[in-house]
Amino acid sequence: MTTTPSAPATALPGRPPVVDLATWQAARNELLVREKAHTREGDAIAAARRRLPMVEVDGTVRVVGPDGPVPFLDLFEGRDELVVYHSMWYDGAPHQGQCEGCTFNLWHMRDTVYLDARGVSFAVLTSGPWDEVASYVEFMGYAQPWYSVRGVEAPIATEEGHIVCYLRDGDRAFLTYSTTGRGNEPADGSLGLLDMTPYGRREAWQDDPEGWPAAPDAGSPVGGHGAPISWYWRTDAGGTATWGPTSRPTPQWTRPGATPAESLGRHGPHH
């Protein structure tokens, strides 16, 4: 049974019909069939991922961390598996000028206790120079280990903006998987929760009911219909989404000493 709002003038534009619980449950059960199929297909894809061929990488190359240069194999910390996130880097840029997308991804990975318990180590790689990176890591308060891989990206087959998985066999290391495109989303728990909410992520690309709220205008024509994609990546001191020079990656406003920005100081990411 569909009901009509008692005060239509206050109804949300584009709101789906209001129904009784039994009608809602029937619609929910219909959607559940598709959700279960999606889950099973995800399981099948994961099974295929585990069967991908491997590429041997040079575990002896030295990467730079807080204790100086160490062999790449040390990042496994004695475990057999390693997951890394390769954060983009803008040479010489201040904290607010570093990659907002990578900041978003890494903020979700502040605790890896469950990976550790499963025998999987986690580390953050970046192509930035260590003296700049160390300051940034301290400012952000990241608990996970960071390493500069400048100049050795090719021998360990890593690339900026990707999650990369490795397997260790004694003193040998192998590339097993790397994400592409939106493949980083499994690490971003907030996106999965937003996808369950009535308004979703409020991204320009998502399919919404007619009249549903559009993505906030963050001052950049990124994404479809003139509205920005990933508007939540950067905000100004007042919490308004913006890509301008007064913005910071959103988590930075929780950090001590984060003041309104004047310049992003970007001159192109390091490659």
Q: Residue 96 falls within a domain, yes or no?
A: yes
Q: Residue 226 falls within a domain, yes or no?
A: no
pTM assigned to the model: 0.89
Q: What is the CATH number of the domain that holds 118?
A: 3.40.30.10
The residues near 172 (Cβ < 8 Å, ≥ 6 apart) are 56, 59
Q: Residue 172 falls within a domain, yes or no?
A: yes
Q: How many helices (H) and strands (E) does the chain have?
A: 5, 12
Q: Residue 92 falls within a domain, yes or no?
A: yes
Consecutive sets of 10 residues in the chain, 271 residues long: mean pLDDT of each? 48 84 98 98 97 98 97 98 97 95 94 96 98 97 96 97 97 97 91 94 88 72 49 88 90 93 82 47
Phi, psi of 33 (to 5 degrees): -60, -45
Instruction: Quote the pLDDT of residue 2.
Output: 41
Residue from 269, 211, 249, 242 nearest 92 by CA? 269
pLDDT tens digits, one per residue of 201-235: 888 888 999 888 877 765 544 433 344 667 788 99
**Both tokens assigned to 243:** 């890509």
Residue 136: domain span: 55-181
Q: Where does 88-226 show beta strands of DSSP type E? A: 120-126, 146-148, 163-169, 172-178
Q: Residue 93 falls within a domain, yes or no?
A: yes
* Cα within 13 Å of Cα(178), Cβ side: 13
The residues near 55 (Cβ < 8 Å, ≥ 6 apart) are 157, 174, 175
* Rounded to 5°, angle at Cα 45 from 42 and 51: 150
Q: Residue 159 falls within a domain, yes or no?
A: yes
**Both tokens assigned to 126:** 């970046």
Amino acid at 126: T
Q: Residue 95 falls within a domain, yes or no?
A: yes
Q: Residue 154 falls within a domain, yes or no?
A: yes
Domain count, the chain: 1
Which neighbouring-strand residues pair with 176? Answer: none
pLDDT tens digits, one per residue of 110-154: 999 999 999 999 999 999 999 999 999 999 999 999 999 999 999
Question: d(Cα 47, Cα 167) in Å, to the nearest integer?
Answer: 16
- SS3 category, 62: strand
The residues near 70 (Cβ < 8 Å, ≥ 6 apart) are 62, 63, 64, 147
